[in-house]
Structure 1
Amino acid sequence: MNYRQFLAARFARIYPAHLFILLTMLGLVLAAPLLGIGLEHGRFNAADFVGTLLLVQAWFPRETLALWNGPAWSLSAEWFAYLAFPAYAALAFRLRTRPWVIIGLAAISFVVLDAIYRAQFGRVLPRAEDSMGVLRIIPEFLYGVGLYYLGQRWVPSPRVSVMGALATSVALLSLMQFGADDRVIVAAAGPFILALALLAKAGVRTFLSHRVILFAGEASFALYLVHIPILMVWRNAAQALAGWPGDYRMGVGELTALLMLTLAAAAAIHVFVEQPGRRWLREWMTPRPVDPVEAKRSVHSDQGEPF
């Protein structure tokens, strides 16, 4: 697989749901005045829309959030990493037999970028989102590369892999529950992800292997992208049409209804937007290879990753 095919696969993976939600938000913003719903002046502006459309909204310093689709800031950072992948690949190829060196370089770059970001913006690097959130992806992507090569060297037994998954899960959840420093949580997320990968590598099947759970995992990307827009629309509509308070405090009934709506929306976007959108983009951007050997190498999963 060449670089063009790699970019096509990754673009097809992240863009259909993003574009659908962004255009839906555009329609809602345009319709809001007609429904008597006031919007904060200047927050939904053309410049932010174009930046979000092009996935560059997290590449530059900014004072306010790009509200067109808040979670999409991470797609902006992710897209930057995909564009920069040749640089990562060159480094990884040289150090592929020394994964701990790659992880060490990731740690050093994280510390340096964190110091720069705190000096410039007064926040730790994991809090970088719309404002230069792209800086987060530089060391974190490298961290992932190192963990990948580390995982290639380990073939744990099913028992060891289960124990590792449980231990890293408890550690990560404990750090989050007790309000540990965000930088520590980011570091702990690495072993957690690696442990889950090794669980699969060891052939361990758990309740997570059930087809319903697998579908939920596949649709979680759409859930991540759509939950904030739905929450914003829900609360603004409730305030304007029903006179409810403008804060985001909710009772159990409202939370349950909102959760059901969000899950249903995510499932629908995954089935009717993501899956056909990925297939269409991959076929359009990367014509089918003629060589049967290359065709076999270029088979893609439903998630858009080449096997």
Structure 2
Amino acid sequence: MQFVDQIGRETTSFPKSLPALTSVRFVLALGVVLFHYQLQWPWNAMASTGIFNRAGLGVDAFFILSGFVLTHAYRQALEDGQLNYRRFLAARFARVYPAHIAVLGFVLVMVGAGTLIGAEFDRRLYNPLGLLTTVLLVHAWLPETVVAEWNGPSWSLSAEWFAYLAFPAFAWIGLVLARRPWILLALSALVFVALDLAYQSVFGDLVVHAQLNMGILRIIPEFLYGIGLYRLGQRVQLTRRQAIGAAWLSAIILLLLMHFKADERVVVAAAGPLVLSLALLSKSGADRAVARPSMLAAGEASYALYLVHMPILIGWKGVNSALTQRPSAYVLAWWEVACLLMLTLVVAFAVHFFVERPARTWIRRSTDRLWPASSAKPTIAPGPQRSDI
């Protein structure tokens, strides 16, 4: 392993494409799906393994990934002080909103239909004010005073949107501490510990359980963690064998921690080395196995998978409970779990290919007409020259 002094050297540059970080998104999203399924199926998974329960922390891994990937995508613009904030937010809007609104529209229709036929569900969870805050993606910004359960997983989109809006501040910290990534990582750990203690004191729970109730506190240190990992990765060069070994070792350690039901905060911390080691596969030219078109396509559809799985699960149980006269809290049979998973995957790919991608393309073309890239003006004060970072 080689450490270098200046980020400007060729050996410190990540390649433009990091396919392993795209492919792993599907695994993380599927983990969140299985986390919610294990609350519904007949097997008491926690008696045998903690993997399914800890898989819900895939959301935290996504937060770490966001900090890492956005720093990578905008590294040059940030270092040159040329980040166009309007174009950045437009790109993030194009990434998040089309699928979010499409799925929210489906839930609205589902709730309306359920109300008309007198289906059994808690109508307090689907109120107009909660719908408004969900549409605006602000429902995880404040202490929970309004129930906003229109699509449970969307709380993390609210947290992501907050991080996007605050990206210049995150990026500035990353630039100032770019030459000292260990300090950046220590800062993220310190912020995490401070927020965890504060959240326990105020709400009586761990910060990794924060969702609708101040969920933004969960992303702040983890997004910063991702930025720190990226800056560290710029200063590390591995051989192909070392990179492959690091990826396997970090994955095995993470799975063992999950299996043995380690503290959730430890599991989140262990997700960081996996993100970094997967990126280093590309840096060392050892990412061929994770760059297959099918894996990349699955990774691209992971966002849709994450969004659609809960509405489909709730709709499935609602319809079946109405048809069979069972309470809606009934336990799923194994055949139902298998059918649900297949249906969810099909719908996720359909949403990705027929809603998410076309809408994203249209929004970005509209952005190019409104704010051409050539007219980008610095919105962040120029940082140190690359050779000095």
TM superposition score normalised by structure 1: 0.91
Aligned in 2, Cα 1:153/1:65: closer, same or farther, shift over 3 Å?
Answer: farther
Aligned positions of 1:98-137 closer than 5 A: 98-137=180-219
1:290 deviation in Å?
6.9
Amino acid in the other structure paired with 1:281:
I
Aligned in 2, Cα 1:205/1:91: closer, same or farther, shift over 3 Å?
Answer: closer
Q: 1:289 maps to which residue?
A: 372
**Are residues 1:41 and 2:123 paired?**
yes
1:250 deviation in Å?
2.1
Amino acid in the other structure paired with 1:68:
W
Q: Take 2:276 and 2:122, find their aligned partners in 1: how far apart are those partners?
A: 43
Misfit runs of 4+, over 6 Å: none
Aligned in 2, Cα 1:172/1:143: closer, same or farther, shift over 3 Å?
Answer: same
Deviations 1:193-249 (A, max 9, x none): 111111122221344322111111110110011111111111111111222453352
Does structure 2 retain, via aligned residues, the 8 Å contact 1:16–1:277? yes
Q: 2:266 maps to which residue?
A: 184
Q: 2:89 maps to which residue?
A: 7
Among 55, 64, 73, which residue is 2:155 paired with?
Answer: 73
Among 304, 310, 321, which residue is 1:239 paired with?
Answer: 321
Amino acid in the other structure paired with 1:230:
I
Does structure 2 retain, via aligned residues, the 8 Å contact 1:72–1:225? yes
Aligned in 2, Cα 1:274/1:248: closer, same or farther, shift over 3 Å?
Answer: farther
**Are residues 1:164 and 2:252 paired?**
no
Query: Percent same amino acid at aligned positions?
Result: 49
The one of the two structures with greater contact order (alpha-carbon pairs below 8 A, sep at least 6) is 2
Among 350, 354, 363, which residue is 1:272 paired with?
Answer: 354
Does structure 1 retain, via aligned residues, the 8 Å contact 2:130–2:146? no
The two structures, once aligned, show a CA RMSD in angstroms of 1.7
Aligned length: 293
**Are residues 1:93 and 2:175 paired?**
yes
Amino acid in the other structure paired with 2:253:
A
Does structure 2 retain, via aligned residues, the 8 Å contact 1:8–1:286? no
Does structure 1 retain, via aligned residues, the 8 Å contact 2:243–2:281? yes
Q: Take 2:92 and 2:279, find their aligned partners in 1: how far apart are those partners?
A: 20
Q: Take 1:248 and 1:176, find their aligned partners in 2: how far apart are those partners?
A: 27
Deviations 1:262-302 (A, max 9, x none): 000000000001101111111223426374x98xxxxxxxx
1:183 deviation in Å?
0.7
1:64 deviation in Å?
7.4
Does structure 2 retain, via aligned residues, the 8 Å contact 1:58–1:76? yes
Q: 2:137 maps to which residue?
A: 55
TM superposition score normalised by structure 2: 0.72
Does structure 1 retain, via aligned residues, the 8 Å contact 2:160–2:219? yes
Deviations 1:99-137 (A, max 9, x none): 111111100011100000001111101000110001111
**Are residues 1:226 and 2:308 paired?**
yes
1:252 deviation in Å?
2.2
Deviates more, 1:227-236 or 1:281-290: 281-290
Does structure 2 retain, via aligned residues, the 8 Å contact 1:57–1:66? yes
Does structure 1 retain, via aligned residues, the 8 Å contact 2:99–2:356? yes
* 3-state SS of 1:32 partner: helix
Q: Take 1:121 and 1:12, find their aligned partners in 2: how far apart are those partners?
A: 34
* 3-state SS of 1:260 partner: helix
Among 280, 284, 292, which residue is 1:202 paired with?
Answer: 284
Deviations 1:74-97 (A, max 9, x none): 010011011111111221111111
Q: 1:22 maps to which residue?
A: 104
Does structure 1 retain, via aligned residues, the 8 Å contact 2:129–2:146? no
Deviations 1:22-70 (A, max 9, x none): 1111111111122331331311000110000000010111167522111
1:13 deviation in Å?
0.8
